[in-house]
């Protein structure tokens, strides 16, 4: 097969019905905050053992995880028994991937907005990541909605959106040059006080800009995965939408902006609670009527219950795997529109 055929096959495998993507790409600083919540020291061995435990959770990895996004450290890491993390993932049938952006920094000339770093040297890093076993990559752009009371200097601006989507387009083109499937992630943050209507508007603007950039930079959409936010109100908004409204609005935005050539859309959880992220994905798949496969690319929404069960202790290994397996199974059901609160309440053996 050609390089493009290989990438198309990978992209389609990443959105296999019943499966989704485990985002295990927390930076050293971010995972340190997660470990602090359970009183566990942020050591290389603890980071290794935590991710090793997740990747060895069978049959959850076999049945419900299509790919794993890794941090640079983890892609190069081996478990305590000497097995590389890449080989652990591949043994389950999942595809190893890599986070390639280098975080956000203030965007010059646009107060209150940010731009994602990491394009310099990316071509060379992607070539190395391919040799290390990565077959897809992720780049996150951050789009923040200003407080509704702000009259001057409201964000996001058109310039801020365009700067971020242009970077996503350049990143995606470099990925495909290297034979790596790009996940493009324009995240409209959900932490503010904005309404669901405002999120709808901004998400639509961001996605329209993104697909213009992808087209102009020659990115093959059939070998690209979209990782967007759902259309939700800000966490601080007094008026919270129902899951039916979230699902209906999210589907409408996607239909209005995303070409059908894209094989699949893997949502970020964006700080939603575990069951909330599951039920919103499930509702969209119950409604149906769209050309793409809708699935998940969750980090905290897949890992949080397992992290609290683990507590950094080897004695809790089985309990943590049980918690992770349950969330993976629930989201697998949601990706097919087969989840229910009753099933989620059941305790898996």
Q: Which residues are catalytic?
A: 185, 227
Sign, CA torsion 336/340/341/344:
negative
Confirm if 202 and 240 have CB atoms less than 8 A apart: no
Q: Which pair of structure tokens corresponds to residue 162?
A: 């365009």
4-40: string of b/e by CB count within 10 Å (b at 16+)?
A: eeebbebbbbbbbebbbbbbbbbeeeebbebbeeeeb
Element (H, E) at 115: strand 114-116
Q: Which residue has the tokens 């290297």?
A: 178
Q: How many Å is the maximal CA-CA distance in the chain? A: 58
Distance CA 324, CA 305 (A): 7
DSSP secondary structure of 135-162: -EEEEEEEE-PPPTT--SS-S--HHHHH
- Work out whether strand 293-298 and strand 264-267 pair parallel, antiparallel, or are unpaired: parallel
DSSP secondary structure of 178-226: TT-EEEEEEEE---SS--HHHHHHHHHHHHHHHHHHHHHTT--GGG-EE
Dihedral, CA atoms, 206, 255, 251, 297, nearest 10 degrees? -60
């Amino acid at each position: 097969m050609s390089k493009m055929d290989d990438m198309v096959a990978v992209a389609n495998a990443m959105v296999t019905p019943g499966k989704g993507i485990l985002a295990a790409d927390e930076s050293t600083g971010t995972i340190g905050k997660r470990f602090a919540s359970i009183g566990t020291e942020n050591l290389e061995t603890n980071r290794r053992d935590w991710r090793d435990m997740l990747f060895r959770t069978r049959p959850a990895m076999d049945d419900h995880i299509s790919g794993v996004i890794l941090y640079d450290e983890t892609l190069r890491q081996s478990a305590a028994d000497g097995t590389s993390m890449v080989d652990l993932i591949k043994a389950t049938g999942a595809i190893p991937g890599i986070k390639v952006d280098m975080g956000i920094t203030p965007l010059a000339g646009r107060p209150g907005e940010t731009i994602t770093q990491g394009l310099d040297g990316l071509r060379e890093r992607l070539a190395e990541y391919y040799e290390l076993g990565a077959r897809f990559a992720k780049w996150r752009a951050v789009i923040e909605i200003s407080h509704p009371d702000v009259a001057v200097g409201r964000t996001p601006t058109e310039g801020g959106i365009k700067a971020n989507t242009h970077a996503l387009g350049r990143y995606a083109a470099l990925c495909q040059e290297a034979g790596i499937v790009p996940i493009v992630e324009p995240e409209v943050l959900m932490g503010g006080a904005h309404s669901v209507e405002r999120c709808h508007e901004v998400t639509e603007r961001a996605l329209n800009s993104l697909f213009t950039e992808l087209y102009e930079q020659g990115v093959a959409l059939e070998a690209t995965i979209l990782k967007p936010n759902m259309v939700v109100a800000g966490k601080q908004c007094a008026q919270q939408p129902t899951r039916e409204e979230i699902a209906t609005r999210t589907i409408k935005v996607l239909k209005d902006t995303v070409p059908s050539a894209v094989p699949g859309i893997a949502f970020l959880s964006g700080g939603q609670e575990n069951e909330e992220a599951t039920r919103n994905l499930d509702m969209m798949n119950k409604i149906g009527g769209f050309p793409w496969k809708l699935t998940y690319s969750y980090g905290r929404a897949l890992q949080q219950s397992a992290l609290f069960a683990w507590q950094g202790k080897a004695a809790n290994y089985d309990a943590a795997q049980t918690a992770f397996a349950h969330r993976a199974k629930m989201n697998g059901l949601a990706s097919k529109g087969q989840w229910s609160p009753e099933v989620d309440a059941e305790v898996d053996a």
